[in-house]
Amino acid sequence: MGSDRESVWRAVQRGQSGVRVLRRLRGIPDGMMLGATVELEPEQPGQLKVVALALRAAAEAMADSRIGWSGVDYTRFGCAVAGHMGDTAGLEEKCGLPPRSNDAVPWYHQWLPNSACHYVGRRFGLLGPRLCHSTACASGLIEVLAGMRAIQDGRCDAVLAGSAEAIHPLFAAGFHAMRVLAWHEDPAQACRPFDSRRNGFVMGEGAAMFVLERLDHALQRGARIYAEILAGKMLAEAHHVTDLDLESEALRRLIIGVLQRAHLPPEGLDYINAHGTGTQQNDPMEVRGIRRALGAAADRICVSSTKSMLGHLVNAAGSVELAITVLALRDGYVPPTANLTDPDPRCDLDCIPLVGREVRCQHALKLSVAFGGHLAAVVLRRWNDASTGFAYPVQRAA
């Protein structure tokens, strides 16, 4: 989709798809499945792609924040990066795959699922708490919530938080065996959230990182602010490891609870970036939960799924989609749901089909609904002070 924040955001605004036929995935036959991959050269031979992606996104976030040794006490600067599949090269060789050659980074230096967290924290000399969660496709959002809590608890002034994902053959094989992966002769049309012809999701790669700060700390150092986290909340759905409660009771309670914490009535919400996987089960369940939580206000709220373009980034889904939500607030532009040509009658919200829309949003909600029953939500408010944030673009003439 792009090599940095703004190029990816422009592609998402256009409804551009990054999905293609997967090739050169170690241990998986070429052309067997689809995915939205990232072309990225690692810093060293043998470096895990997920680590390289995390480092790239973290470097961009740190540079954009203009934070430096003079601007923060690094003993109070935390690091929260989601877990991931570790380096399985040693296991692959035992399974008969040819060994990788000339690796400067041996597999046992990247075996642990917190490897990206370790390398990111070490790269930037972050000496505060180091946090790492493995909560399936809620992981990226939960790291942001963990960073927020570390600041609220007084343990940190700032936290570098987010997640990364690279398509791993074990994950790919597992999802393929579950029959949840989408297929279409035209890869760009494969993932179809909220569409009656949806048949699953496609896997994706990418990363997003945030520099989170306590508000007075950010203002004191003259930071440029994108958005304010009003509230976050996590709940569990004690139903099944992969199947969802079709009555959406836990999701209903999650949305009501996070809006109450944010002191925001349903009518004050402008945009929801949905989990929106494009599977038969997830989409109507998520719409039902939104409707049950918001009541009549659901009819006027924009809802979209960017997995239709980015693919499902699993551990990185929450952070990447939260980043897109922040940019939607910044620019007053709601991204579309690509490939939504025949809406499922059960998905009867305004799901922004095909083409994005200029909407000067003030408040947005990001949802994550993960395997294992992990539910997470974050409510954001646009930062409207032009001297410390971003002025809205000049509105186009009708």
**Buried b / exposed e across 192-215, counting CB within 10 Å, b at 16+?**
bbbbeebbbbbbbbbbbbbbbbbe
- Please report how the helices 282-294 and 249-261 are oriented relative to each other, as an axis angle in degrees rounded to 10: 50
> Which residues are catalytic, by number?
137, 275, 312
Among 181, 362, 388, 335, smallest CA distance to 267 is for: 362
Q: What region does 66 belong to: left with phi over 0, alpha with psi -120 to 50, or beta?
A: left
The token pair that represents 363 in the structure block: 């408040």
Strands 333-334 and 302-304: unpaired
Strand ranges of the sheet holding 227-236, from the earlier edge strand across to the other edge: 227-236, 374-382, 363-370, 271-273, 302-304
- Phi/psi at 327 (5° precision): -70, -35
What sign for the dihedral angle of Cα 75, 143, 181, 336?
negative
Query: CA-based diameter of the chain, in Å?
Result: 64
